[in-house]
Amino acid sequence: MLGRRSVFLIGPMGSGKSAVGRQLARMLDAPFYDSDAEVERRTGVDISYIFEKEGEARFRQREREAIDALTSIEPVVLATGGGAVLLEENRRCLSERGCVVYLEASVEQQVHRVRHARHRPLLLNVDPEAKLRELMSERASLYVGIADLTVSTDGRKVQSVADEVLRGLKLRSTTYTAPGR
């Protein structure tokens, strides 16, 4: 655990993982990756297409491969997809290879943030609020179970959340070493 220099952001869709991750990476002078974007880069198609043509199980397998590769980079700031915690292999990679930060967001905040999104396959043709509640009931304990740090993002600006994450990482300096330090 000592000397971990990578930060892995977990949490539900709409919690701000990508936006906070990009800002945090700038603050830490570390590369930023998004596991969903990596899956799209590797396959040459968007995630909605993978879900439609191959199903969620195949997407999760592709996501697992991307997370395994991206968590091997050090240092790195990695934003994971909301369902990345579903696979035990992903939880193990994240827990063992860096500091895991759970960006917590209420279902109401998630609904507000994703209301116009067209690229969220799990929200297609369903009541978004009901689906987000269902996903949180399935995943909340998994997020909490592997988190080294939890930061609420409700009603907050990206910079404020990134600042709090950085403060939290510094307080946990026995398990996190900032890049270049």
Q: Could you report the per-residue pLDDT of 25-34, keeping only the tens digit for each?
A: 999 999 999 9
Model pTM score: 0.89
Q: Is the pLDDT of residue 24 over 50?
A: yes
Q: How confident is the model at residue 128 (pLDDT cuts 50, 70, 90)?
A: confident
Cβ burial, residue 55 (10 Å; 0-12/13-18/19+): exposed
How far apart, in whole angstroms, are the C-alpha atoms of residue 125 and residue 112? 17
Mean of pLDDT values over 119-148: 85
Q: Kindly report, residue by residue over 2-16, the tens digit of the pLDDT.
A: 356 899 999 999 899
Strand pairing partners for 51?
none
pLDDT at residue 1, as a whole number = 30
Domain locations along the chain = 7-171
Compute the average pLDDT of residues 111-125: 69
Topology annotation, domain 7-171: Rossmann fold (3.40.50)
Omega within 30 of 0 (cis) for the link into 75? yes
| Residue tagged 């991750």 (tokens) | 21
- Asked if 34 and 21 touch (Cβ cutoff 8 Å), the reply is yes
pLDDT score for 36 = 94
